[in-house]
Amino acid sequence: MEMKKFMTRDEKINPDLLLRYPRIGETSINKRGSTLEIVDYRKWDQVDVMVITRLESGEFKYYRSNNCEYSCFIKGSIGSPFDKSTCGVGYMGIGSYSSITHPKLHMFWSGMLFRGYNDKYYGNNTYMDVTVDFRFHNFQYFAEWAEQNYYEINGERMTLDKDVLFKGNKIYSPETCCFLPNNLNVMFTKRQIDRGELPIGVTRKDDCTQNPYRVSMSVDGKGAVHIGTFPTPEKAFIAYKEAKEEEIEKQANIYLNEKGGQFIPQFRDIVYPALLRYKVEITD
């Protein structure tokens, strides 16, 4: 049987081929929203399809899938490593990393995208304006960055943080992210919904008229510790600010000097200095 050579996307189609193989050039959409275009058709189970994906950055990615069944083309079941399969933006890309070979990195990646783009998070002010840098949409790029920046201290669970290095940052990116032991990370939880309009760290005791404003603080990831009660929100916040910044510095030094952080460049040179310069503001 005569076999035609594979065509490229840029090759001009011979009109005679269109008469013999009218399905060349036919398009469809796959289940992830990528465009499917038939670029070569020999018979029903020898169909070459170009999968065209437009990324959130505006860039187009082309992936050729050969010897597909025509029915798969019609059903939209032909995929590509560039299909936006996670939260409508994330794609696996082409490389050596996968969810099977690197499950922990994939967990960090999918969790980051979920916080940035899943509608379930939009009711939480902490993630209302969060986005993810286009480069991190590609799992291959993220995984390579994460392998270079990941560390563990004392076997503790690690978290991916976006705003300790640059306070108030709302973008997950290679320049703004770092890994933090979870016990340090929870110290920066703001609980905006719980406190309402009061300053960070301050709650009101309705049954107390003299000093109704109460200050408590999470210490070492083990729960809240009572700091004191105060007559005004402003005085309560000052007490919280002093106690919080002192605790952050204390914990930073414990992780550096007692838990081995001085031997880990990612912590010693990047995270530790950021912890020391962190300042609590009343607008937090």
Task: Write down the pLDDT at residue 4.
Answer: 39
Residue-level pLDDT, tens digit, the chain, 284 residues: 333 333 444 455 565 655 555 688 999 999 999 999 999 998 899 999 999 999 999 999 999 999 999 999 999 999 999 999 999 999 999 999 999 999 999 999 999 999 988 875 555 556 678 899 999 999 999 999 999 999 999 889 999 999 999 998 999 999 999 999 999 998 887 655 555 688 988 888 877 668 888 898 877 656 678 889 899 999 999 999 999 999 999 999 999 999 999 999 999 999 999 999 999 998 88
How do strand 158-161 and strand 60-68 relate by DSSP bridges? unpaired
- Dist. CA 267–CA 56, nearest whole Å: 32
Domain ranges of the chain: 15-75, 183-284
Tokens representing 20? 């013999």
Element (H, E) at 158: strand 158-161
Contact assessment for residue 6 and residue 48, using Cβ atoms and an 8 Å cutoff = yes
For the packed helices 139-149 and 103-117, what is the interaxial angle rounded to 10 degrees? 120
Q: Which of 136, 97, 98, 129 is nearest to 115 (CA)?
A: 129
Tokens of 63: 């992936």
Coil/strand/helix, residue 261 = helix
